[in-house]
Structures are given as C-alpha cells and as structure tokens.
Chains A and B, each alone.
Chain A
Amino acid sequence: MLFLLAAFGIVALLLPALTPRLGTKVFVVAALPAIAVTVYAAVLSPTVLGSGGRSGRDVVESVPWIPQLDLTLDTRLDPLSWLMTLIVGGVGALVLLYCVRYFTRDEAALGRFAAILTAFAGSMYGLVVADDVYLLFIFWELTTVFSYLLIGHYTRRRASRASALQALLVTTLGGLAMLVGLVLLSQQAGTSNLTELIAAAPSGPIVTTAVALVLVGAITKSAILPFHFWLPGAMAAPTPVSAYLHAAAMVKAGIYLVARLAPGFADTPGWRESLVLLGVVTMLVGGWRALRETDLKLVLANGTVGQLGFLITVVGFGTRDAALAGLALLLAHALFKSTLFLVVGIIDHDAGTRDLRRLSGLGRRSPVLAGIAVLAALSMAGLPPTFGFVAKEAVLTAFLDAGLDGEIWGWVALFGVGLGSILTVAYAARFVWGAFARKPGMADTEVELAEPAFLASPAILAMIGLLLGPLASLVDGMLAPAATGLPAAVGEDEIVATGAHLALWHGLEPALGISAVTLAAGIGLFLTRDAVARLQQALTVEFSAAAGYRHTLHAVDRSAARTTAFIQRGSLPSYLGIILLVLLGTAGTALAFVRDWPDGVLPFDSLTQVIVGVVMSVAAIAATVAAKRFQAVVLVGVTGFGMVVLFAQQGAPDLALTQALVELVTLVAFVLVLRRLPARLGTKNGSSFRIGRALLGIAVGTLMAVVVVVALGARIAEPISVEFPDLAYELGHGANVVNVTLVDLRGWDTMGELSVLIAAATGVASLVFLSSRSDRMPDFARRSGRGLAKSHPQQPIDEGDRGAWLLAGRTLAPRNRSILLEVVVRLVFHALIVVSLYLLLVGHNAPGGGFAGGLVVGLALVARYLAAGRLELAAAAPVHAGALLGSGLVFATLTALVPLFFGVDALTSTWFDLDLGWFGKITFVTSTLFDVGVYLVVIGLVLDVLRSLGAEVDRQQEEDERNGENVDSGAQSDVRGDIEAAEDASGGVPTESTEPEAAR
C-alpha cells in the first residue's frame, strides 16, 4: 500500500513533463496508479473478505516514521477500506480516462491539472487505508488542499477562485477541529493507531468533546448542514473534478470517517441524535434546492448534498443493519452520481451549456447518452432493478426495524429519509427531463455529438450500478464484513456478525410499500413542477448559510483592516509603547495574584552601594532632560561606570574589568558618531507626550522592581551554579569560574554571542561603507610610512624632524595634532598589547579572559586612531576586520568540533602540562583556544567600529569638503567645541547664535 502511495506521488510529479508530448493522452498515464490500487484491492479480496467459509483478515503494513513520537506509517486494508479503495480507485481511473476526451490539447495548465488530480486520488487512497489518526489527518488535509487547487483550476475566473477559497476555508475549519478531536481521542485511548483506538473505545466527557470535534470535521468535509454551501460553489471546478471529488471521493471522506468510528463511538452521547437530525435536514434542504436549480450541474450538486445527508443519517445510526445499508448506499451513490456528473460533462462539452432552460431534444439526438443517464437516475431514485433500489430498501428496513424496536430515532430517520426520497425521485425525474426531453415551444439544441469513446466511463459506471442490483446477494457477502462490529439494535452491547441481507426482492414487505409511496409522491411532485416552482418562489428564505459565510469573511476582512489601521501607525515609539503596555498588563495581572509576598528585603549591603546607587539614579534622571547630545552621553556613561563599582563591590572582578573597558569603547564610538550630528538634541518635535512617557517609564520601572522581589522570593531550588566551582576546577581545569563558564561549561552560549557580535560588526560596516566594505586602507606598512607622510603634506615636513612619534601623525592638520598625545600613545601602545595578552592567558585562573583582552587591544587601537587619524589606524592594524572576525569564529568552532573526533562531546576541554624550562611550568587548557577565538572576534568588532564610524566617516567628510559641499560645517566642528557648547548649555540658556548649525 505504501508502495502504491509512492507511485501516485511519482506519477503526479512526472505528468507535467509528459503533457507537452502526450497531450490529453497524459490522463492514460495518470490513471495507471488508480488502476493499480483497484487491481490490488480486487486481488486481495479473498484475503480481506474471506472465502470458502474462512473469515478474512486485514492486510497491514507498518513502517516506523518518527519513533520518538510513536508515529508510524500504519496502513490497513480491512473490508471497509477495501470497499473505499475500489470506489476511489475504480471511479478515479474511469474519471481520469474520461478526461482524455473531455479536455483539448490546448487547455491551459493541463499538466498541472492532471498531476493534481492524480495526487488527489493518491491522497484519497491514503486516507482510506491509513490506520493511524495522524496519518489519516495528513491525507485528509492533503485532499482539502488538492481539492482547492482543482476547484480553482480556471484561475482566471473569479467564481473559480472564490469557490476554491470557500471550500478550502470551510473544510480546513472542520479539519482543524478534527485534529484537536483526534489528538484528544488518541491521548485518551493511549494510542494513535486507529484500529486500537476504536477497539479501546474510551468514554467520558473529554471523549464526548473529542468525538464532537471529529464529527465537525466529518460534516464539513461531507457538506452536511450548516456547512453544505461549499459543495454547490465547488461546481466551478471542471466537471470531471465534480464527478470524482464531489460525488465519489472527497465528500465521502466524512461518511467514511463516521462509518469507521461508529463501532467504537456510536453510543457517545449526542452522536446518533446530531447525525440523524443534521442528516435528515440536509437531505431535505439539498433535495428542495435541487428542484429549484436550472443548471444541471447544480441540480446534481444540491442532490449530492441531499444524498450525503441521507448517507450520514444511515451510517451514523449505529446499528449493524443500518451500517450495511449505509455501505450499500455509499457504493450506489458513488456509481450513479459520478455517472450523472460525467453525463453532464458530455452535454456541456457537446451543447456548450448545462442550463436545462436552453436544452431541448437532446434525448433524440443522443439516445445512448440518455440511456446511460436514465439508468443512473433510476438508481438515484431507487427504482428496481438498480442497486440504488437495493440500498434504499435496506435503509428503510433497517430504520423501520429500529423504530419497531422502540427506538424513537428510528422513526425520525425513517420519516426524514422517506420525505427526502420523495424529493430525490422528483429531482431525478427533473434532471432527466431537463437534460433530454423535447420541451414545448423550443427548437432542438444544436449539438456536436461526441465520439463513442467519450461515453465509455459513464456507461461502465451505469452498467455496474444496474448489474449490482440482481447480484445483490453477492454484494451482500462483500459488504457484510465491513458492517460487523455494531450491535443489532440501538443500545445493545452485543455485537452481531449477521443480520439483514441485501437483496433485490425481499417479498412484499413494508419497506417496499414505503418505496412505492415515495415514488408516487415524487412523480407527483415532478408533474406539478410549475406549482412547485411558484411555491419555491414564495418561500424564498432570506438567510442562507452561504450568506453567513460571506458576512463572516467580510467581517474578518473589515476587522483586519481596522486593526491594521489602528495598530500600524508607522511610529516606533507607539509600537514600543504598545509592547510595554502589554508587558505591564500581563506581568501586572500575574503580580496581582501573588499571595505570599517575600520578606527578604534589606536596605543596603554596604554604604558604597548607596552612594553609587544615588549617583547612578541622578545621572540617569539628568540624562533624560539633557538638551545636548554629549551631555546626555556622558551622563549615561556615568551610570555605566557606576556599574563597574557595583560589580566590583559585589564580588565580580571580571564584570568590573569588562564593563570599564566596554564603557570606554562605547563612549569613543558615541563621540565618533555624534561629531557629525548637531550638538542639540532634537527639539523640533522630539519631546512630545512627556508626561505619558514618564508615567509609562515609572510604571515599567516599578513593575520590574516588584517582579525582582517576587521572583527572588519565589526561589525554592538550589541554583545549578552551586556545582559550578567544582565543575570548573575539575572539568574545566581553571580557577576563574566565570571564565571557565564562558569558554567551557556554557561554551555554546558564547558561540551564540560570537555570532551576534559578528553580525553586529558586519552590520555596522555595511551601514557606513556605502559602496563596498573597503576597509582596504592604503598600503601602509611601516616601511612605506615615511613616504605616505610625504604624500600627505598637510604639515610641511621638516627633514631634520626625528620626533615623529607616530607615523601618520604628520598627515593630520596641525590644529588637530597633539604631540603630547602622540608621545603617550607611542609609549603605552605596546604595553597595552602585552597587557591584553596577559589578560587573555591568565583569564582561566584569574580575572581577565578573551573579552577583556580583546577590549584592551581595541582601546589601544582607539588610542592610535585618536592620536594620529585614520591612516595611523591602518598602520596599527594592517588586517581586515572581517578576517579577524572570521578567524576568531574559526578558532572557536574548531575548539568546539575537535573533541568530536576524539569521541567526546563538542566543546569538551582537556589540558596539558607544559614545561617551559626557564619560564617554569604552565598548564595549558584547550579551552584557552576558544578564548583566543573570543579575543579575535572582540578585536574585530572594535576594529570594525573604528574603521566604520571613525576612519570611513573621516574619509566621507574629507570627500564632502573636497566636493565643496560644505553642508556639514556646523556638525563637523570638532569634539572639543561641542563639549564646550554642552557646558555652556548647562550653564545658561543657549541662544540660537551659539548653535553650530546656525553657522550654516
């Protein structure tokens, strides 16, 4: 079975490629898998159904799929699946062969259509043989998706697209409900295997809910009220699709599921009541509407809705005889309804219309076609000797017996299907009359008669429907095994193997009388069709389910548009504000339910804390009202340096060290950017909603404080980090627990962080370097330095001047140069590099490590750049920042991966004792190499920031000046000037004239 399923998929994939060569003959290839499953099922008939007194056994295949989730590809061919496979495969093959004549070679997207129809047939086959609820659900949804694509085949027609969407939305809604139901059921039963689940047949309130949800899925798929409206809409599909999906296959999926579950769940509260009621009402509504339609296809579609209601009533009833009758009816319906659809397709093909008001005299022109249609219609109306009659008799008998047993729902069902059958007879007659009769006052419709081969598929189906009637006892033996598992009467527990039999002639029984009455009444209804039409006109109902769908859809559209308009303000502050309000709402609500407030609050740990805390708070508040950029930046920096003290005081030397270094680098980066911006912070319209923002800020701050108190008070478990010191010492072989945590114990976190750093560094570079990441500075090696200095004669070169402390110093304008700074930088640069290496190497055992070391190198580079400009930076770091970032990541990754080759987990470290002779012994831990990676990435990050925000911004500025676009003259005034301006501002009210911008 799994092999056949794969065959459907492979053939479907090949079809589009074959179509240009084969034209419409491609459908012959498409039919092959469907023929194969039919033959396969037929060959297995003796095994599955039993033969010669031996009872049958199911054919089971099972392939593990996701063992961790207990998911298996379980398939099972039991008598019910066997019947469904024959219908799905047989009708599918005939419909596909019919397509050869139906379409023409120049049909748009023919290959796609053939592929999807084949894939649909495969999904349908999978659905009926799946023996796992999740597998079943997957095929169920696949049929939904393929049906969407098939209904929407005419992509250029609005009706086609809209109907496809409608069918998709309705059936997916049901499918989702069903999924929830299936999950609940499999949880309750403890298995997702369908057979085991039905055998377990759990019960209880949860199971009742679950079964109800599954039934929602079934009735949406099978177009039962109130979800019936998608099926007439789906008639926008090409007629072969209607013949297959909407008569034989997909709409039967819901019926199949109900039949499948009935042995286990028919006694679930609400099952019988809801299915019988909905089924009967659907049968009446469908039949009534079918009498009103003028498009033959819509007559059939509404008739199908009615028949599906009929089927669900019978199959859902839950007795053995009703189940047998339901299966017979299922088979009969598949045969006659697909025949009739195919006949309509031929009429449409030949006459160019399906409107019964425009068709006349077709029966005389095409008697064979008319004969086929009459046979199918007889079966639909339930007249002997067709199989439809056999099925209907069995249904009526089953309901009558149940009613006589005292089951009230038996009478309801009998009465309902009796009324429905009257309507069925009437619209069957109306269909034949409408399609083939010569109508008074109308000329015969012009038709181009089809070639005989076109009639083959409907003819075969109609003949089967006719032949099965006399062969009813044979069919009985085939269907009866599928109907076992249900009690003989409602409410009984005992499962019976046998009961009523299918037969063409049961004798003069009450059911025959009911049949005769419905037949007479139905013909009467047809003969008085003009009066009926007037009555229908008068009884037009304002509300319909389709209108409900339309209103729902438009309401969703409208509310989506309104929500978007309301939310999508385009303003970052309002987006952030909404996020913060949600935070306040959710976390605040949670806090409102906190009952035991912790009491572990003490004023302070030390006086230092208090002083630093006050300074930080004041600085933060001052930063919010600062009018000048640099003022605000420095104030925020104060809070950062406050953090340094807090860290140190709390027993975190690594943090204090890193925070101090980062704070310096951040300050430098800020200054580098802000020198290009006006000194004053935006006053144009920047500070709006001050009070609202302040209130929100205070609320968030308070909330966070309370969250911290509550969260800490709620802590009950020992922190996992209690183990960390021992782990660090024994596994990581390092004394500095924080560093070992970073490079070893939680090395994956650091890997992630390195990726973030690289992404950010690359982002900075790509934002600033406009054309390419040209951090290729002029070749500025030490040897050529003097030459370069000569080529940048901003300062006349004094040949006797040997006091060039930094090579590129002379490239700066004299007013920007500080010899003192150059001297200091020259003296400390190498010392800083040594310090950084020291920090890197001792980090494992003492405060330091890759982060701190890398930042020290970064600061050394900052110093070189600030002292002598961008060319000096190129001389100090003659490498690409990208190369540093990349090699750092390579180092870290290799350290992570190499242990895998030794059969241990990634990032596992080991150590070697190295005897360095004169220098003494050192212990080298491999995770130090990881730290080297961190070191390189951090250097790369700082270098990228300097190159981008420093050197490249300088270069762009110089370029602007050369181009004479003096637009930046205000903003470019050097840092010192801005800081003075900031100080002025804090001293007194600045006037416009002191603004650098005013110079422009």
Chain B
Amino acid sequence: MTVSLALLIPMAVLYACGVYLLLEKSMTRVILGFLLIGNATNILLLITAGRPGSAPITDGGSEEPYSDPLPQALILTAIVITFAVSAFLMALVYRSWKLAREDQLEPDAEDLAISTRAGARAETPEGADEDTDFQSDDPLDSSDLDPVLQGAGRQDEGRSATESAAQADADASAESGAEGPKP
C-alpha cells in the first residue's frame, strides 16, 4: 500500500507535539497533548484506509472503489471516546483547581513516601531456637512489622493523605507568591 507523505508528516508532527505537551506539568497542557495525540492516531488510522476513495455508501452493486469503511468506523468510535475522556480530564483539572488552586502536576506525596521508606524485609528463620511447642507466644514486637505498614499507620494518624497533599500544594503555591493565588 502507498502512503501519502502529506498525511504522514502531519501525523508525526502531531505525535511529537502531543508527546511534548503530555510530558508537561501543567494539566491543561497535558490535556492538549492528549488531544493532539488523539488526532495523530486518527490520522494513522486514516492512512491505513489507503488512498482516498469515494464515500463508502453503497447501492448494492456498483464496483466503484470505496474508501475502506472499517478504519472509518474505528475512527468514529475514537473521536467520540476522545471527547468523553478529555471531558473527564477537564473535570479533573477543575477539581484540582477547586481543591488546591493548582494546575500543576506535583509529585505524588504517597509515591515519594514509598520510595524513601526502607523496603519491607521478609522474615527468615534464623535465630529461632525454641525447644518446645508449649511456650507462650512472642510479645508482638513492632520491629517485626512491615515498615511500609508502619509508615501507612503514621499517615493515618494525621490528616488523610489527600488532605495533606492538597495542603502541601496550597502551602507551596502560597510561598511562590507571584503566580499562585493568595489565600
């Protein structure tokens, strides 16, 4: 099959720009990148349909070359789903703005916390020398517990994770001054 460069190049450009925007921290730009990638993908599907043809509206017998209807059906589905998903993303942006006055994707506090915690240690049987089944149980030693679980426990004592993250974001934007809204 032949490929038209006049479709191929805009597709590549849209992908490139879409990826560039998608990797932004501004959520609005992320949505825009998502839309560009959506459009680029639709061009990709369109290219797979081959050279331009007449609209695939049949009269039951004519042999004139239609353009391939299957990619068209896929694209139609994709167009509407892209709209639905971007509406959802927009609602996310609004929600984030409403809660934290923030259109920035800040590093997820919980994710970061996991990475800085010590990893969980699997127990190994060393150092266990009981000479009877009929002993009292070990006192529950907190050092036996999974450190990750302990960390989670500490989090729960304070504010919920979302609250604290939102608060931290609000603090950060308050400090940054010029750009962020003043509370």
Contacts and interface: CB of A to CB of B under 8 A. Distances in A.
A456 interface: no
B53 to A, nearest CB: 5
B3 to A, nearest CB: 5
A686 interface: yes
Contacts of B105: 571-573
A705 B11 contact: yes
Interface residues of A, number: 163
A685 B180 CA distance: 12
**Chief secondary structure at chain B's binding surface:** helix
A894 interface: no
A358 B132 CA distance: 12
Counting chain A CB atoms within 10 Å of each CB, which of B5, B14, B46, B81 scores highest? B14
A568 B115 contact: yes
A992 B177 CA distance: 12
A655 B77 CA distance: 10
A25 to B, nearest CB: 20
Interface string B170-183: 00010010111111
Interface in A557-577: 557-558, 560-562, 564-566, 568-573, 576-577
B4 interface: yes
Max count, chain B CB within 10 A of own CB: residue among A570, A573, A719, A746 = A570
A946 to B, nearest CB: 10
Interface residues of B, number: 123
A749 B144 CA distance: 51
A728 B58 contact: yes
B34 to A, nearest CB: 10
A652 B70 contact: no
Nearest to A659: B79
Interface in A698-757: 698, 700-702, 704-705, 708-709, 711-713, 715, 719-721, 724-726, 728-730, 735-738, 741-742, 746, 749-750, 753, 756-757
Nearest to B107: A570
A157 B119 CA distance: 22
B100 interface: no
A338 interface: no
B137 A712 contact: no
Contact of A157 (B18, B74, B104, B137): B137
Given A573-B25, A605-B4, A949 B91 contact: yes
A688 interface: yes
B179 A573 contact: no
Nearest to A657: B76
Interface string A293-333: 00100000000000000000000000000000000000000
A652 B72 contact: yes
A688 B23 CA distance: 10
Given A763-B88, A764-B87, A580 B19 contact: yes
Contacts of A673: 90-91, 93-94
A629 B114 contact: no
Given A558-B119, A601-B3, A652-B46, A760 B19 contact: no
Contacts of A636: 32, 35-36
Contacts of B12: 701-702, 704-705
A564 B6 contact: no
A202 interface: no
B23 A577 contact: yes
Given A165-B123, A687-B24, A953-B94, A704 B15 contact: yes
Nearest to B56: A737
Given A636-B35, A742-B73, A621 B7 contact: no
A354 interface: yes
Nearest to B42: A643
Interface string A657-692: 011001001100110011011101111111111000
Contacts of B75: 647, 652, 655
Contact of B109 (A570, A623, A685): A570
8 contacts: A156-B138, A158-B138, A295-B131, A633-B32, A639-B35, A651-B53, A677-B97, A697-B19
Given A639-B36, A652-B56, A737-B69, 20 more contacts: A570-B107, A576-B23, A620-B36, A624-B21, A652-B55, A681-B28, A682-B29, A685-B25, A688-B25, A693-B24, A705-B12, A721-B71, A729-B58, A741-B73, A757-B80, A764-B87, A764-B90, A846-B57, A967-B181, A967-B183
